[in-house]
Structure 1
Amino acid sequence: MSDSIGARLREAREGKGMSLRALASSIGVSPSLLSQVETGKTKPSVSTLYSLVSQLDISTDMLLGRESHMQTPEPVAAVASSPQQLATSFLHQGSEDNPTLEMDNGVKWERLSVIEGTDVEALRVTYQPGASSSIEGRLMRHFGIEHVYLISGELTLRLDFDAHVIQAGDSMVFDSQRPHLFVNHADVPAIGVWYITGRAAAARQGSSSGEGVVAPVTRSETLNSAVDVLRSFRG
């Protein structure tokens, strides 16, 4: 993760009037870890990154420097009824232009093209052998519907109390508010395409209804999966 991304996280936090300690406490990490993320000295896990963008109410586009506004823009429907509702109805993005996030534990996100104003996040994701979406073995939750198509390799999804193994050519979809964790048990990289739809709208609706941000599942919750995850994915 580049220093500029850490700087954008710090800018978003300060724009919200939050102290580093308050933000760290709200997402369940130490202030020293968050400070190292903001200064570019360390990389966050996928679960930590989702917690940050959710708590700060920003999009991955903003994090990658693709948006100038701190607040997530009001999205139109995921599928517009008319192209005239959008600023553009066509976008071609070369692979060399994919903004990239390198995260802890061998996980890489490449941001794919989407039409601005739609509530869709498109990513090409790589999990290196042994990589997982949380180095602590924690399940995470976030707003939106997650669509996954695996191009190569093998990936295990822990969803609530169940484990689902997907291989090249397989696809899946699930509600991202369900506690989940990805891990690559294989000895080759797992590469796939992710589409997360409706995250901004659901986050906005959740905030307005007083439900707040969906946070990672912690060991203090009644769900027994934290122990199960440690046994299943750290063996």
Structure 2
Amino acid sequence: MEENIGQALREARKAQGISLRALAAETGISASLLSQVENGKSQPSVSTLYALVSRLRVSLDDLLGLDAHGASQPAPQDRDAEPTGASRAGLILQRAADNPVLNMDSGVRWERLASFDDGLVEALLVTYPGGASSSVEGTLMRHSGFEFAYLLEGSLTLALEFDRYELGAGDSFCFDSTRPHMYVNQGRKEARGLWYVVGRNAAEHTRERLADLLGRVVGDSEANPANVVEVLRRLGAEGLAADS
């Protein structure tokens, strides 16, 4: 189920009142390339996609039009049809044929795997064809979160800051994604692996939860808090109650 995320990126940009040229300047992407991506005439590289979603503060699920359980929303005429994913008793079931797919520059392919709706983990089946790279410009990328990966087949080079690591089938690794990094398949055979990006949206979720807690505290029918210490005390109490 191949997805075109250009329109979703354009809608997210416009919803935040950001001009195309401003977003291009802030992410270090040319305005012409960004325009081509938004119009579906060009596919972004991995590094370009991460730069855009990080600036726009959107998740892959947002871009792929997935609902809270990872299932694609059915078209209006198919509203009565069974969704592509199923969730029962804590189980998220997603059939292989229903994996949302992102095809990016140089042939890199992402398949979004089943995951919970907390937004803390992005699960991906990633394919790098021979000669493919996460950055066509050869520049290292960085983003929030932590990457955990297991290479299923093929070989891949990981450039992490000033070091390079040659990875083969069966190798696994993890690192802080704020460190500059890049992936390159220097061979002829494709490389495939499982990627789990943990906590890329954690900061946004933390802000949302704090805002919710603060709203409940300030909106309390009791007297308004006298000072910051009282606000923090109440936030702590609300947080403990929410976790229990």
Q: Same fold (TM over 0.5)?
A: yes
Where does 1:1-235 land on structure 2 (aligned, <5 Å)? 4-67=4-67, 89-202=90-203
Secondary structure in 1 aligned to 2:22?
helix
Q: Which has the higher helix share?
A: 2
- 1:147 shift after superposition: 0.3
Q: Deviations over 1:74-114 (max 9, x none)?
A: xxxxxxxxxxxx99621111110100000001100000000
Kindly indicate whether the alpha-carbon contact (under 8 Å) linking 2:3 and 2:64 is maintained by their aligned counterparts in 1.
no
Counterpart in 1 of 2:71?
A: none
Residue 197 of structure 2 aligns with an amino acid whose one-letter code is: I
User: Would you say how many aligned residue pairs link Structure 1 and Structure 2?
Assistant: 190
Shift of 1:202: 3.6
Residues 203, 154 of structure 1: alpha-carbon distance in 2 compared, 3 angstrom cutoff: farther
State whether residues 143 and 203 of structure 1, in contact with CA within 8 Å, keep that contact through their aligned partners in structure 2.
no
Residues 92, 205 of structure 1: alpha-carbon distance in 2 compared, 3 angstrom cutoff = closer
Alignment TM-score, normalising by the size of structure 1: 0.76
Cα RMSD for the two superposed structures: 2.2
> In the aligned structure 2, how far is the partner of 1:124 from the partner of 1:196?
11
CA spacing shift, 1:2–1:150, aligned 2, 3 Å: closer
Which consecutive unaligned segments of at least 5 residues does structure 1 have? 69-85, 207-235
User: Comparing both chains, which one has the higher relative contact order based on Cα–Cα distances under 8 Å and sequence gaps of 6 or more?
Assistant: 1
> Is residue 112–residue 122 contact of structure 1 (8 Å, CA) maintained in 2?
yes
**SS of 1:92 mapped into structure 2:** strand
- Aligned to 1:142, the other structure's residue is in SS state coil
